Structure 1
């Protein structure tokens, strides 16, 4: 068995054990924040950010989501994990932040600010300075359903979308062309899809979804984001978050 295969098996085992631990607890734990990394396999400056992101995701105290974008594909390597919806989400964030252009590696913290994704200290500082996640979000397994419970807001006229963000397990990719040609790189929690589960209006609320949906859309599981949305539809601050483990670990 080669070194790369050993690394892959070890990482998969760690991820599965972590998810099983979440399931054993019966309810998701409150994270200290949400890190959304916009990255690309065709970006030469992204591997250091991917490594930092992987280490922070592995700690388990944040919701960590990697959105692979497609606008660097012209450099010679088509990102195998890229999705046009991921690029659209990054552009929406840039519109919300008043920025003129997108870039990689970019880490968006709690939907409130963005920093260079390879700068661990900047990410940690942003997690502390953005004030965390003020609204409690929990997930419970009940038979064939996953029940999402959202707490109330201390503010007034609060409204947010309940988003389900599906992602795969850590994935090793052999890059055969482009700026990272010849490297095999690991990508943690690559996002595979996003859907809106409902709208929260500031009061205690309950949302229910079939467990089977998780397995269909992401091998790693699903994150629940309670995210405010601007009048123009641009994403706003993330008010709460939780993770749902893979269905086969429940």
Structure 2
């Protein structure tokens, strides 16, 4: 584990994020009438494991974890594993600014740690369905945790629809339902989240611990939407996503899975992720 700063010394970092989201509510009829074909996904009857990697380009022990996470770039859903890489910002003052970092990811990492009774955040750190797994690099330990999650019946349902728009843009509609929300007063409120991720990213690091190294990333979270509370067991998130930092020539040749969305339901009191669905952007 690698922690350059203690929790008191983590400072927000203001930067221009390379992904812009038009926060425009879409009418349901807009999705239905779109000329392009709609691709969709629905969570299964069993629980799916959300695997969150907290990483940073400023940390020289993170690249192996980034590579480890990338093995589920395309096939994770078939194994009930949905991976996300969240880049924190507390390394940015130590020589290299991670262009994918967001302070909200540092805050989420700290919040999950606090809920579990911990105090220290570090990179790389892995959470499986909202619970830390320090032995993630041990195959048997990781598979055991995944097996326990997948063996449980889902306590929530997540449905996704994605419609391509112009080059580098798509609309997404997510529907969340849960019977567990009916008893949320005792167990904790339920919240819905939507994450927009990007694959096939690389950086040539010019300073810091990884100076001179070209880093490769998959499943990097570029936009984070939520929490949106489930009311009477239901929530919706509808957004129009527009990618502005990627050149048109790159977008034209980009594979369908270059971008995608992950949606999940989380118990606010415990951090447990009840259910997850994912969907790659279709052309």
Alignment partner of 1:97 is 2:116: yes
Alignment partner of 1:192 is 2:216: no
- The secondary structure found in structure 2 opposite 1:52 is helix
Gapped regions of structure 1 (runs ≥ 5):
1-22
> How far 1:180 sits from its partner (Å)?
1.7
The aligned counterpart of 1:9 is none
Q: Could you tell me the TM-score, scaled by structure 2's length?
A: 0.67
Alignment partner of 1:238 is 2:273: yes
Q: Is the 8 A contact 1:34 1:64 kept in 2?
A: yes
CA deviation profile, 1:209-247 (whole Å, cap 9, x unmatched): 14x2365799722211111102xxxx611111112433x
The aligned counterpart of 1:207 is 236
Alignment partner of 1:79 is 2:98: yes
- The secondary structure found in structure 1 opposite 2:72 is helix
After TM superposition, the structure 1 = structure 2 runs for residues 28-39 of structure 1, keeping only pairs within 5 Å, are 28-30=41-43, 32-39=48-55
> How far 1:147 sits from its partner (Å)?
3.7
Return the alpha-carbon distance in structure 1 between the equivalents of residues 57 and 128 of structure 2: 21
Alignment partner of 1:59 is 2:75: yes
- Tell me: CA distance 1:171–1:120, structure 2 relative to 1, closer, same or farther (3 Å): farther
Structure with more of its chain in helix, by fraction: 1
Q: Is the 8 A contact 2:55 2:123 kept in 1?
A: yes
Alignment partner of 1:181 is 2:216: no
Gapped regions of structure 2 (runs ≥ 5):
1-35, 166-170, 247-257
- Tell me: CA distance 1:48–1:138, structure 2 relative to 1, closer, same or farther (3 Å): same
Return the alpha-carbon distance in structure 2 between the equivalents of residues 152 and 178 of structure 1: 45
Q: Could you tell me the TM-score, scaled by structure 1's length?
A: 0.75
Higher relative contact order structure (alpha carbons within 8 Å, sequence separation ≥ 6): 2
CA deviation profile, 1:17-51 (whole Å, cap 9, x unmatched): xxxxxx98942153731001001111111111111
CA deviation profile, 1:46-76 (whole Å, cap 9, x unmatched): 1111111001233232221111112223432
Return the alpha-carbon distance in structure 1 between the equivalents of residues 164 and 223 of structure 2: 24
- Tell me: CA distance 1:178–1:215, structure 2 relative to 1, closer, same or farther (3 Å): closer
> How far 1:130 sits from its partner (Å)?
3.6
